[in-house]
Amino acid sequence: MTDRFPALLRLTTLALALAVAGQVSAQGLRNTAQLASPPAAAAGVARTADFIVALVNSEPLTNNEVRLRVQRLEQQFSQQGRPMPPRAEIVRQVLDQLINERVQMQHATEVGIRVSDDDVNQAEQAVAAQNGLSVEEFRRRLNAEGVIDTNRLRADLRQQITLQRLREREVEGRVKVTEADIDDHIREQQGGGDLASLEMNLGHVLVAVPEGADAARVAELQARAQRVADRARAGEDFAALAREFSDSPERNNGGQFGLRPASRLPDLFVNATRTLANGGIAGPLRSGAGFHVLKVIEKRQAGLPDMVVTQTRARHILLVPTAQLSQAQAQEKLAAFRQQIVSGQARFEDLAREHSQDGSAATGGDLGWAAPGQFVPEFEQVMNAMRPGEVSQPLVSRFGVHLIRVEERRQNTLSQRDQREVVRNVVREKKVDEAFDLWMQDLRARAYVELREAPQL
């Protein structure tokens, strides 16, 4: 077995990463098509008569399902050379995970999530292509190693796709990351909660209140400031509002202070705007000078440490399967292109211009410089494993079938804006995980779970 093959199994047959500290990912895979039986490689482990260990909304969960999952986890720990947690702890967490998965799969059925055979075919082909194998070669390798049979692999893939679509529908689409969330994360990473590193550019409208104004005059000026705020929130041009209504010196500059440290802005302004995203409106706020309406033009955390990432410039040819061009035919066509390129009979750029079915065709398939996370995982995993100048085997992604050539790589320092986007992705993943845990707790609480006999392995 090649060095890459165990890594493949970690990615595809199960989400096997058991968190010893206390949780198992709810995105692990379980077969729903048939009862589990141990793989051939597990000879020597005594078979036990199957029986029900739990009922999940009246659907049985069997001892064999628990036993198979535990065996897979033990294989995973062995492949990685990691110490095994106590067997009792593994069994407890596996049972809990399987119950959670069963609850999710039942909910997916209720909300109408379906995974077609074509979806499973594409996933299986993508896994095989990532390892430079055809589907038939990939199946033979699995069977030869006694890891998992084809039916179970396909059942696992189908469930993995279902659970991911359920997560996207119920959780991921509802998570939002604000500029304030990014600022808070950066401050946490820098070890402080103060505003020393925050920079802001605020738009400002001041409706001045003359000294000694009576209550009626104050109320009139407050109403004027409120109208300005309402119009700004309705989307009117803030700079035009500032030039028309503001009594502050910045009016001629569209009301903008310019980007400056938060420490150089009044505390009243900072406290009112620090949690707002760019474009947010605050006010009217009262001070000794009058009533203020503020707009967040730009906000960023200064002092981010330099972040160096490995960027890749690659080309690709994309063929999108249709009724006239099956996925298998697209793979065959790209395999023929690859042979022409490798043998020097054709240039990658020319074939991309002529055949690729995306916007990069005009530039010979050039995708430009890409940072980690820019492409879908199934594409990026293959690209990252390639050397400059290397041409991949046909690769299946959710967008179609690709042929990739890596042009070059470089180390690059990200701009402040790009760094904030990296932080945004980190914060989003954290919020998604937190939201998923809460959603799963609620879903589990609404399910009927009856524990029967303890699992026997």
* Residue 248: CATH number of its domain: 3.10.50.40
Residue that wins the pLDDT comparison between 191 and 31:
191
Mean pLDDT (whole number) for 363-377: 88
Residue pair 363/314 in contact (Cβ under 8 Å)? The answer is no
Judgement on whether residues 266 and 315 belong to the same structural domain of the protein:
no
Average pLDDT, the chain: 81
What percentage of the chain reaches a pLDDT higher than 70?
Answer: 84
Residue 366: domain span: 308-413
Residue type, 109: T
Return the pLDDT at 301: 67
Judgement on whether residues 66 and 168 belong to the same structural domain of the protein:
yes
Judgement on whether residues 447 and 333 belong to the same structural domain of the protein:
no
> How many DSSP H helices and E strands does the chain contain?
14, 13
Is the model's pTM score more than 0.75?
no
Token couple for 453: 């006999």
Judgement on whether residues 296 and 315 belong to the same structural domain of the protein:
no
Return the pLDDT at 130: 62
Q: What tens digit of pLDDT does each residue of 166-199 get?
A: 998 999 888 999 988 888 887 776 654 456 667 8
| 326, part of any domain | yes
| Number of domains composing the chain | 3
Judgement on whether residues 169 and 61 belong to the same structural domain of the protein:
yes
* Residue 108: CATH number of its domain: 1.10.4030.10
| 420, part of any domain | no
Q: Which of 50-59, 134-143, 387-396, 400-409 has the lowest mean pLDDT?
A: 134-143
Residue whose entry in the numeric block shows the structure tokens 């400031």: 225
Judgement on whether residues 140 and 25 belong to the same structural domain of the protein:
yes
| Res. 425 pLDDT band, cuts 50 70 90 | confident
Return the pLDDT at 79: 67
Mean pLDDT (whole number) for 439-447: 94
Mean pLDDT (whole number) for 378-405: 89
Q: Which helix (H) or strand (E) holds 141?
A: helix 135-145
Judgement on whether residues 44 and 161 belong to the same structural domain of the protein:
yes
Judgement on whether residues 97 and 66 belong to the same structural domain of the protein:
yes
Mean pLDDT (whole number) for 356-382: 88
| 456, part of any domain | no
Residue 164: partners with Cβ closer than 8 Å, 6 or more residues away: 27
Cross-strand pairs, 14: none
Return the pLDDT at 103: 95
Q: What tens digit of pLDDT does each residue of 48-71 get?
A: 578 999 999 989 999 999 998 888
Mean pLDDT (whole number) for 105-122: 90
Judgement on whether residues 17 and 164 belong to the same structural domain of the protein:
yes
Q: Which of 12-26, 187-201, 443-457 has the lowest mean pLDDT?
A: 12-26
Judgement on whether residues 293 and 364 belong to the same structural domain of the protein:
no
